[in-house]
Amino acid sequence: MNILITGGAGLIGSNLLKRIIKNNNNYNIILADNLWRGKLENINDIKNTNFNIEKNFYELDLSVYENCLKITKDIDHVIHLADVVAGINYVFQNEFSLFQLNLNINSNILRASIFNKVKKITYVGTACSYPLEKQSNLNIIPLKEEDVYPANPESSYGWSKLIGEYEISLASKYGLINSSILRLHNVYGPPSELSEKKSQVIPALCRKLILNEEYIIWGSGKQRRSFVYIDDVIDALIKSMKIEEGHEVVQIGPRESISIEEIANKLLMLSKKNIKPTFDTTKPEGDFDRVPDISKAEKILNWKPKINIDDGLKETYKWAKSQLLK
């Protein structure tokens, strides 16, 4: 089977590639990424396998249709992970360009996959697509998949990802391609983006601690997220890939949320540094709280998260230190 992983040099893509290789599946895997946030060093430690960077990796901008057409030729299954993803500051400062890019990437890869008669496409949506009003209080009701409508995401990122979901579901409904959609909550773990410009909250806090930057939490710190460790996300993707005919939208994340302040304190403990966080309430903090109802993930994928937040943070902090102090 020929598999294309778009965004394959990123956090989820590089981990998925490694897991598929580890599982010894006899797949021919192609990766496409423009390296906007992905890095070759995330995949260049793969040795002695069928996967070879020179042969199997393509540096391509997938917002361009011709590139999508070229890369989906002879592919059986597209795992579509490429999109512009970044921390909250980047997202709110680049709402228009990010929206247009993601719309183009998602629509072009789908259109090219249909043209090239790809059998199945797997897409990952985001919990950022849920309506603002359903995540603006503490201890909100766990979100079900259908709660994403009527749509009112807070950011253009949430909109772009939701429109991607909608377009793929539509193609599937009219028999143009099989599809599976996983709607992910906040993913963290190695190897993630650590730069000030593009990092998400957990790697950003790790960097501030490790490089002795001011330990600033954006917003009140009371905002909460359901953080899901990368290995659990890969488990879900592998289970989903096995369902050839595809499946409807399934949320992936832990049932409990945790505040950013609690995360910051846990990382501070790991660092053993004797400092206190400060809060910058001029910075955006995003939605207030959201947790998934994962009964569909349990039923359709037999999935639930296995890695608790303390273990996940420990691994992530250790990895960030190895990168930033090398």
Ligand X SMILES: NC(=O)c1ccc[n+]([C@@H]2O[C@H](COP(=O)([O-])OP(=O)(O)OC[C@H]3O[C@@H](n4cnc5c(N)ncnc54)[C@H](O)[C@@H]3O)[C@@H](O)[C@H]2O)c1
10 near ligand X (CB under 6 A) = yes
Beta bridge partners of 120: 77, 178
- Virtual torsion, Cα 83, 85, 90, 96, nearest 10 deg: 30
In the complex, the smallest distance separating the C-beta of residue 96 from ligand X, rounded to whole angstroms, is: 15
Residue 62 or 210 having the CB closest to ligand X: 62
Q: Are 74 and 2 in contact (CB under 8 A)?
A: yes
Place of tokens 């599937």: 172
Query: How many residues make contact with ligand X (CB under 6 A)?
Result: 28
Figure out which of the listed residues 36, 92, 279, 319 binds ligand X, where binding follows CB under 6 A.
36
84 near ligand X (CB under 6 A) = yes
187 near ligand X (CB under 6 A) = yes
154 near ligand X (CB under 6 A) = no
User: What is the SS3 string spanning 116-170?
Assistant: CCCCEEEEEEEHHHCCHHHHCCCCCCCECHHHHCCCCCCCHHHHHHHHHHHHHHH
The sign one gets for the Cα dihedral 134, 139, 142, 145 is: positive
In the complex, the smallest distance separating the C-beta of residue 52 from ligand X, rounded to whole angstroms, is: 19
Residues constituting the chain:
326
Cα angle at 56 between 52 and 60, to 5 degrees? 135
In the complex, the smallest distance separating the C-beta of residue 270 from ligand X, rounded to whole angstroms, is: 20
91 near ligand X (CB under 6 A) = no
Figure out which of the listed residues 3, 4, 5, 12 binds ligand X, where binding follows CB under 6 A.
12
Q: Which of residues 96-135 bind ligand X (CB under 6 A)?
A: 101, 105, 124, 126
In the complex, the smallest distance separating the C-beta of residue 250 from ligand X, rounded to whole angstroms, is: 13
313 near ligand X (CB under 6 A) = no
Figure out which of the listed residues 4, 5, 43, 85 binds ligand X, where binding follows CB under 6 A.
85
